[in-house]
Chain A
Amino acid sequence: EPEVTQTPSHQVTQMGQEVILRCVPISNHLYFYWYRQILGQKVEFLVSFYNNEISEKSEIFDDQFSVERPDGSNFTLKIRSTKLEDSAMYFCASSALAGPGNEQFFGPGTRLTVL
């Protein structure tokens, strides 16, 4: 069964450093998403991406964040200058279409720890 994969599984970085989280969505999917979950809190939407541009983004997704689909298979989330509060699980998801019935498939997540 096709699945979303994410690398690395755990990333440790120093405050102020840039990090890039990588995702390989399911191959025939067209919509890509990033969510995050701070420990003990709910899953929060960050951004959705379609046709090489951002479709929707939340208030969390400020100028420190960017997304990119650098090639036909990868989807990345970059955090330019990490803060302590960026420590969280980051989940990538993809879906074939955007409408109802086209569920989002989530990857296993990357645990980001900012020291």
Chain B
Amino acid sequence: DAKTTQPPSMDCAEGRAANLPCNHSTISGNEYVYWYRQIHSQGPQYIIHGLKNNETNEMASLIITEDRKSSTLILPHATLRDTAVYYCIVRVLYSGYALNFGKGTSLLVTP
């Protein structure tokens, strides 16, 4: 699986958009980009995934660059409950079933 690079920490004001970047410059054509988050030692929670098109769901939007070497997770209106560690994970199609979590980005949403 391709390696990902994320900033260790970010801050965001409540009500503003949180934009979390992820670099995955070695991504290959059949690898998907997944985002999970972990709120204070709870079990990780799936947010969104994509292959090459931008994706949106009720939680977030995922913007993948055209060359697929980076992506951005957008939380459009961050709340205090969005304070968590956010993980960007790249998975090879059908390579197995493990999610390989890195260190992620610790997002702090402030009042």
Contacts and interface: CB of A to CB of B under 8 A. Distances in A.
Interface string A50-66: 10000110100000000
Interface in B26-53: 32, 34, 38, 41-46, 49, 51
Contacts of B103: 42
Contacts, number: 63
A37 B41 contact: yes
B97 A109 contact: no
Interface in A13-53: 31, 33, 35, 37, 42-45, 48, 50
Interface string A79-115: 0000000000101010100111101111111000000
B97 A55 contact: yes
Q: Is the interface of B mostly helix, strand, loop or mixed?
A: loop
B98 A58 contact: yes
Contacts of B49: 100-101, 103
Nearest to B93: A100
Given A45-B99, A100-B91, A106 B32 contact: no
Contact of A91 (B44, B91, B100, B104): B44
Given A4-B43, A91-B44, A106-B44, A44 B32 contact: no
A44 B96 CA distance: 15
Contacts of A105: 46
Nearest to B98: A45
Contacts of A44: 101
Given A42-B102, A100-B49, A100-B51, A56 B97 contact: yes
B89 to A, nearest CB: 10
Interface of A: 4, 31, 33, 35, 37, 42-45, 48, 50, 55-56, 58, 89, 91, 93, 95, 98-101, 103-109
